[in-house]
Amino acid sequence: MGAGIAQVCATAGISVTVCDPSPEAVKRAQKQIDADLKSGVEAKRITREQEQETRSRIRYVSGVGECGEADLVIEAVFERLDIKQELFMRLDAQLAPPAVLATNTSSLSVTSIAAKARFSDRVCGLHFFNPPTRMKLVEVVAAKQTAPEVIERCASFVREIGKEPALVQDTPGFVVNRCARPFYGEALRCLGERIADVMTIDQILREGGGFKMGAFELIDLIGVDINYAATRSIWEGYFHEPRFAPHILQKKMVEAGRLGRKSGRGFYEYPNAG
Amino acid sequence: MPDNQLPLEQPELYALGRILIAGPVADARPFADKIAAAGHSVTLLVPEEEIEFAGKKHKVLAREEAIEPDEYSIAIELHCVSLEAKADALFYLDDSLNEDTLILTYTLAISTGELARELMMPERVVGLCILPPISETKFVELMVTPLTSVDALSRAEEFFKGVGLGYAQVGDSPGGVLGRTVCCLVNEAALALQERIASAQEIDQAMKLGVAYPFGPLTWGDRIGLDRVLAVMDGLYAEFKEERYRPAPLLKKLVRAGHIGIRSGSGFFTHRQA
């Protein structure tokens, strides 16, 4: 996801450094960005000049020590609290305020990441949606420690890169992932209670509700395991609040390896996948 | 799965007489317009005090006037939230109509079986679930009770096929699939708003951009009517006795204050009266 975010920033005219401890990961990021820009030129979404300019704005380095000066750091490493906390301790020591340190977490507590920084009031969340090059929304997450002016700066940064900021408090699932829970949860309940089958539920949500995709088509696209993990994480974050509880069907599907499109079978079958 | 299976071959096409639509004018009239647009003659049966608002497009009867039972092959009862008005209308229809007249009863907030079992002929009752506003109906969910006859269901399906509305048969449950899902989305957003996780505008914006919902959940609630959203949540809570269906206190407060959404000029948002 970091590569996508870097590309969005560079496209908007901002100089970006892509930084990863692994040289291979840095190469992969460069490859992904270059390929996406090239296809943008081919599809005439951008000109060849824009492609060149965008590429010239991105610098690739391996090693956190090499990232140099920055006004804003957006961390997009693996979703594990201890890894993120350790990184924020290093970034905090390396970059003096007023540089802003932002985490692109979707499920971890921004407050507990910020707690590892000495200057914790300049830490916030910038939750991009996948793929960042296409999704318009960024949740700007205020941790318990975040200073109001840091939120303001981040919101104007989000607008500068052509996205829409939503200012949210640091709570499990923030706004989008939390408020979307009933879409999956009630569809699963209806299925579990045998009120209707998978296809009927999806048809009702699409044709009756105007949703672009039915709940089960969407879960299959997201990945049944990923959707299950997101459900669990919000449920645990709210101390097992019953309305966030996962459904046994999600667990059984994961146990059976029916993970959705990527595994060839989820709530639907995908004979041509993989 | 479904309690009743469709017969493989339709026995005969029923000659449809007039359709009787009983309910408050605000819901009965737009639904009558849809039915009439498909070529049916419609009679509106409205509360005495609303008769002057019923318009001239359809034949109109006040509740106190006697209905001519031979004219009607199908009666549609459209009372939304008031259980009392609904029971009253259903008993009246059950009493006054011929035995073979199909009765479709609007079941947004309760189970179809709850009232159907009280009637003399519950086998001819099919539940009809539509997410308000009824004027924008594109799709209906048909609910059968253990008492509904196979014939009644197939006549209901035949009718909606002829009218050109999408339909699906689902099990008997408050809210149906769509009402249950969408009202729980509204309720979750109301909880997030009450907790000040984000502003109302930002919650709606985030859900539209982040997960591409057709409306922000709070705007959607105002469109449905917060009294109706609350009725669905109360109905689900009464049916399942589960914490997940507990209505948001903010929702209750707004309804108590009469801020029920677009119909009253304000709800989660202020609306300019049309």
Q: Say which DSSP state B6 is in.
A: P
B60-86 mean pLDDT: 87
Task: Give the start-end residues of each E strand in chain A.
Answer: 16-20, 58-62, 72-75, 100-103, 123-128, 137-142, 164-169
Instruction: Please check the confidence at residue A65 and state whether its pLDDT lies above 90.
Output: no
Same structural domain for residues A37 and A93? yes
Number of compact structural domains in chain A? 2
pLDDT band for position B201 (50/70/90)? very high
Average pLDDT over residues A126-144: 96
The sign of the dihedral angle between the CA atoms of B5, B7, B11, B16 is positive
Which band of pLDDT confidence, cut at 50, 70 and 90, is reported for residue A273?
low
Residues B70-92 have a mean pLDDT of: 91
| Greater pLDDT, B202 or B51 | B202
- Whether residue A154 is contained in a domain is answered as yes
- Residues 153-172 (B) with a CB less than 8 A from some CB of A: 166, 168-171
pLDDT value at residue B80:
85
What φ, ψ does residue A82 adopt, rounded to 5°? -65, -35
* Structure token digits, residue B209: 């951009």
How far is the alpha carbon of A129 from chain B, nearest alpha carbon, in Å?
Answer: 7
Tokens in use for B230? Answer: 């609350």
Q: Which CATH architecture is the domain B177-264 placed in?
A: Orthogonal Bundle (1.10)
How do residues A19-60 score in pLDDT, each as one tens digit?
998 999 999 999 999 999 999 999 999 999 999 999 999 999
Prior bond of B133 cis (ω within 30°): yes
Q: How confident is the model at residue B8 (pLDDT cuts 50, 70, 90)?
A: very low
Q: A131 with A244, same domain?
A: no
On whether the CB atoms of residues A241 and A235 are closer than 8 A, the answer is yes
Task: Kindly list the residues from chain A whose CB atom is less than 8 angstroms away from the CB atom of residue B212.
Answer: 212
Q: Is the pLDDT of residue B108 over 50?
A: yes
Closest Cβ opposite residue B1 in set A178, A194, A204: A194
Whether residue A269 is contained in a domain is answered as no
How far does CA B81 lie from the centroid of its chain? Answer: 9
Residues of A in contact with B185 (CB under 8 A): 179-180, 182-183
Per cent of chain B over pLDDT 70 is 93
Q: Which residue has the tokens 């840091």?
A: A150
Residues from chain B contacting residue A139 (CB–CB below 8 Å): 206, 210
Q: What pLDDT, on a 0 to 100 scale, did the predictor assign at position B11?
A: 41
Bigger pLDDT: A213 vs B55: A213
Band of residue B13 on the pLDDT scale cut at 50, 70, 90: very low
Residue B168 has its nearest CB partner, among A166, A181, A196, at A196
What residue ranges do the domains of chain B occupy? 18-170, 177-264
pLDDT band at B66; cut points 50, 70, 90: confident
* For residue A168, pLDDT beyond 50: yes
Instruction: Tell me, yes or no, whether A21 and A100 share the same domain.
Output: yes
pLDDT tens digits along A145-166: 999 999 999 999 999 999 999 9
Helix axes B249-256, B176-194, angle to 10 degrees: 90
Residue with tokens 């006040």: B62
Give the closest of A164, A167, A211 to B213, CB-based. A211
Domain assignment of residue A268, yes or no: no
Cβ contact, residue pair B210, A181, below 8 Å: no
> Tokens in use for A78?
């693996």
Residue ending a domain, among A113, A143, A175, is A175
Which pLDDT belongs to residue B54? 85
Report chain B's mean pLDDT, rounded to a whole number.
91
Same domain, A13 and A123: yes
Instruction: Flag whether A252 is in a domain.
Output: yes
d(CA B84, CA A189): 29
Half-sphere exposure of A75 (CA within 13 A, CB side): 30
Q: Are strands A137-142 and A123-128 parallel, antiparallel or unpaired?
A: antiparallel
Q: Which residues pair with A17 in a beta bridge?
A: A59
pLDDT digit string (tens) for B21-41?
999 999 999 999 999 998 899
Domain B18-170's class?
A: alpha beta
The span from the CA of A132 to the CA of A33, in Å, is: 12
Residue A274: the pLDDT is 54
B246 DSSP 8-state letter: P
Binary contact (A200, B184; C-beta < 8 A): no
Alpha carbons within 13 angstroms on the beta-carbon side of residue B195 total 18
Total-model pTM = 0.93
Last residue within a domain, chosen from A175, A194, A227: A175
Across residues A227-252, what is the average pLDDT? 97
| A229 and A119 belong to one structural domain | no
Alpha carbon distance A228, A78 (integer Å): 18
Query: Which CATH number fits the domain that encloses residue A62?
Result: 3.40.50.720
Are B105 and B128 within 8 A, CB to CB? yes
- Name, in order, each residue with C-beta under 8 angstroms of A93's C-beta and a sequence gap of 6 or more: A118
Of A156, A175, A194, the last residue of a domain is A175
- Asked if A132 contacts A123 with a C-beta cutoff of 8 angstroms, the reply is no
pLDDT of residue B105: 96
Mean of all residue pLDDT scores within chain A: 96
pLDDT of residue A3: 96
Q: How confident is the model at residue B127 (pLDDT cuts 50, 70, 90)?
A: very high
Residues in a beta bridge with A103: A75, A125
Contact B205 A168 (CB under 8 A): no
The parent domain of residue A250 ranges over 180-263
pLDDT digits (tens, 9 = 90+) for A79-132: 999 999 999 999 999 999 999 999 999 999 999 999 999 999 999 999 999 999
Asked whether residue A197 falls in the same domain as residue A163, the answer is no
Q: Which helix (H) or strand (E) holds B182?
A: helix B176-194
> How many CB atoms lie under 10 A from the CB of residue B4?
17
Note whether A207 and A233 are same-domain residues: yes
Considering only CB atoms, which chain B residues are within 8 Å of A205? Answer: 177-178, 181
Dihedral pair phi/psi, residue B48, rounded to 5°: -45, -45
**Position B95 confidence tier, pLDDT thresholds 50, 70, 90:** very high
Tell whether the model's pLDDT for residue A4 goes beyond 70. yes
CATH code, domain with A195: 1.10.1040.50
